[in-house]
Structure 1
Amino acid sequence: MSIDVHQHLWTPSFLDALRRRSAPPRLDGWTLLLDGEPPYEVDPDDHDLAVRASRAAGLDLALVSLSSPLGIEHLPPDEAWPLIDAYHAGAAELPAPFRAWAAAPVTDIDPARLSHTLDQGFAGLQLPATALRDAAAFAVAAPLLDVLAERGLPLFMHPGPAAVPSGSPAWWAAVVPYAQQMHASWYAFQAVGRPRHPDLKICFALLAGLAPLHSERATNRGAPGRGRVDPGAFVETSSYGSRAIDAVIRELGIDVVVNGSDQPYAEAPSLDFGDAARHAIGHANAIRLLQARSHHRPSPSPEPSPSPSPSRTTSQQLRTSQPYSETQPYSETQPHTTTRVHPHTPSRKEPQS
């Protein structure tokens, strides 16, 4: 059994909200219309709950997120909020093994509204990489990121809208601008995001566009951090395979790599690295990513019982509407102490938090 931190599932309330729109992003029946992209025929089965539940039958937990390439987070507030509210309403009602990332427009920063959404059991917040590419963007989003850091909940960085040149093949957006966006957001976070938010946990989709593999060039050009790995900056594996995952593990170690599929657009990679590595990537690392801080557990009893240790946290606890707690404060201020692990000779020790 494993955890998938990256799926998309459009519920009826969200589909209805897209169909009510007269301008992109919108749905005309099952035809998706976006600015700057050709019409895309959506497969109804991809967003049929029964079909998707059968595909997720082998998972303990599947985290659903808003499709940021639609550009919803960048819309004016009066257009963005109805779509995001419809997404939240449907996502909050999804049955096990599904749970969801919250969403928020970057045109109307509302930390109180985010706090209310997170209280409903959402796993953390997803934002598009196009919204966090430089110091000014991180300054705008800072109140949202402060809410996450205070609760110990993660930010999920996902590709945003992408301009597709005329005549480009169908795979162009996923391979070129998406990877470029993730590459830029990885280094923007290192340069300005992490200093501003030392306790924030973050997970980058699609192995951060393989940005970690450029660390040698970065340090050779003056970037700080040689030999250090941020234990609170995770990467997920969607649309990559064993060669890329192997290379990223060699650079970052195994403890910050988590499983993601990008269903229904791709399948989860095969993790043929041995049982210990499979457990780390598919389960244990995601548990550590998703744990909330104990002092933000909603409706505490007058005399709460001691929390289990993080290593005993289960996917079942993470699926509940109340985020599970961790026992120790989370800090990114210390160097990563876990030895880098070659995926074909994985350590038998449980990853350290």
Structure 2
Amino acid sequence: MLIDCHQHLWPEALVEALRRRDTFPYLRDWTLYLAGENPYQVDPAAHDVGRRRAAESGRVLLSLSSPLGIEHAPDGADLIDVWHTSALELPDPFHLWAAASVHEPDPEALARVLREDRVAGLQLPATALGGPDAIVRLAPLLDVLERSGKPLLVHPGPAAAEDGELPDWWPALVPYVAQMHRSWMAWHVAGRKLHPALRIAFVALAGLAPLHHERLAARGGPVEPPDPNVFYETSSYRAAAIEALAGVVGPAAIVHGSDRPYAQPLDPAEFPPAYFTINPQNLLRGYGYAVTESNQQVP
């Protein structure tokens, strides 16, 4: 079975909850308002469950849109509850990543959600993992996740407000990439020592952070072999970047994710089949599982 590790689909209940808000993030009809981005006109068809379901041919893992800033919001826990309740009601092939407040972490609430079979693991915003101290602060959540045996997905978080007019693509190419780079560096400084068994995937090829290994070594940073429990999700990138990263971290570390509806899936005919099958299974279940010709998981 093909697996897309990263898409976004807003259930109707989440849309209505965002429309009731008067502070960021909020919707007015289908226009999204965020503190650090230009108003964004959402395409309603992109969140039509029937249309999206018809476009899929494999398992899809949906994630809460972390650039909204819900995980950081003082009242974010209520919206996260809406996300979990409504996303768990979506039909196959949609499964989901759990979310958690980083403003006021609640490990017990996370543990309850992780027990759901349709929950693949936990997604956290890169803005909450931007340094070693930040990873230490979130240890209560990461400890629960590690004990569950499920993985962590690191996703770009909210962009900070900036002065002046910026193009609409600016957040995705500047703050998002920088956030992923910081979180990857922080994980390698502090995360693996604290959570030795936790599998982790970085969205958008971790902002291409592993390609800086030569500069890292030149500046006195750690030079270590690739961590087999660190994976890199492909969204918004194509062959040039994916092949370059695979040359550094190894092809077994690459997992397909599309970021649909903001980007389109890769063509499975143009990339190694493992990016869509075995590698995602290794991320989700660990290396004790394999994918057989009949698409059944076997220990």
> Residue 311 and residue 292 in structure 1: after superposition, are their counterparts in 2 closer, same or farther (change >3 A)?
closer
Match of 2:104 in 1: 108
User: 71, 92, 107: which one pairs with 1:73?
Assistant: 71
Question: TM-score w.r.t. structure 1 length?
Answer: 0.80
Match of 2:48 in 1: 48
Q: Does the 8 Å contact 1:201/1:233 carry over to 2?
A: yes
Q: State how far apart, in whole Å, the 1-side matches of 2:12 and 2:269 are.
A: 37
Aligned pair 1:90/2:60, yes or no? no
Match of 1:170 in 2: 168
Equivalent residue letter for 2:205: L
Equivalent residue letter for 1:269: L
Match of 2:9 in 1: 9
User: 218, 234, 252: which one pairs with 1:220?
Assistant: 218
1:188-217 Cα offsets, whole Å, 9 max, x none, are: 000011111111100000000000100111
Post-superposition offset of 1:39: 1.5
Q: Does the 8 Å contact 1:62/1:99 carry over to 2?
A: yes
Q: Does the 8 Å contact 2:235/2:259 carry over to 1?
A: yes
Q: State how far apart, in whole Å, the 1-side matches of 2:10 and 2:231 are.
A: 25
Equivalent residue letter for 1:25: P
Q: State how far apart, in whole Å, the 2-side matches of 1:182 and 1:237 are.
A: 13
Q: Which runs of 5+ in 1 are unaligned?
A: 294-308, 318-323, 328-353
Q: State how far apart, in whole Å, the 1-side matches of 2:73 and 2:176 are.
A: 19
Post-superposition offset of 1:314: 9.3
Equivalent residue letter for 1:89: T
> Residue 239 and residue 198 in structure 1: after superposition, are their counterparts in 2 closer, same or farther (change >3 A)?
same
Match of 1:310 in 2: 289
1:117-153 Cα offsets, whole Å, 9 max, x none, are: 1112211000000000112211111011111111211
Q: State how far apart, in whole Å, the 2-side matches of 1:186 and 1:172 are.
A: 21
1:145-176 Cα offsets, whole Å, 9 max, x none, are: 11111121100000000135422111111111
Q: Does the 8 Å contact 2:37/2:171 carry over to 1?
A: no
Q: State how far apart, in whole Å, the 1-side matches of 2:294 and 2:27 are.
A: 34
Q: State how far apart, in whole Å, the 1-side matches of 2:198 and 2:77 are.
A: 25
Equivalent residue letter for 1:22: D
Question: TM-score w.r.t. structure 2 length?
Answer: 0.94
Q: Does the 8 Å contact 1:259/1:281 carry over to 2?
A: yes
Give secondary structure in 1 for the equivalent of 2:101: coil
Match of 1:339 in 2: none
Q: Does the 8 Å contact 1:237/1:257 carry over to 2?
A: yes
- Aligned-residue sequence identity (percent) comes to 49
Which protein shows a greater Rg? Answer: 1
Q: Does the 8 Å contact 2:201/2:230 carry over to 1?
A: yes
Q: Does the 8 Å contact 2:255/2:276 carry over to 1?
A: yes
Once the two structures are superposed, the pairs formed by residues 1-353 of structure 1 within 5 Å of their partners are: 1-56=1-56, 58-59=57-58, 61-76=59-74, 79-121=75-117, 122-163=119-160, 165=162, 166-226=164-224, 228-270=225-267, 277=272, 279-291=273-285, 310-312=289-291
Q: Which has the higher strand share?
A: 2
Give secondary structure in 2 for the equivalent of 1:39: strand
Post-superposition offset of 1:315: 10
Q: Does the 8 Å contact 1:115/1:147 carry over to 2?
A: yes
> Residue 184 and residue 315 in structure 1: after superposition, are their counterparts in 2 closer, same or farther (change >3 A)?
farther
**Residue range with higher mean Cα deviation, 3-12 or 159-168:** 159-168
Aligned residues: 297
RMSD, aligned α-carbons: 2.0
Q: Does the 8 Å contact 1:9/1:64 carry over to 2?
A: yes
Match of 1:305 in 2: none
Moved over 3 A (4+): 270-274, 312-317
Post-superposition offset of 1:38: 2.2
> Residue 314 and residue 13 in structure 1: after superposition, are their counterparts in 2 closer, same or farther (change >3 A)?
farther
1:54-92 Cα offsets, whole Å, 9 max, x none, are: 221x22x1000000000011111xx11111011101110
Q: State how far apart, in whole Å, the 2-side matches of 1:292 and 1:224 are.
A: 26
> Residue 258 and residue 13 in structure 1: after superposition, are their counterparts in 2 closer, same or farther (change >3 A)?
same
Q: Which runs of 5+ in 2 are unaligned?
A: none
Equivalent residue letter for 2:280: A
Q: Does the 8 Å contact 2:277/2:291 carry over to 1?
A: no
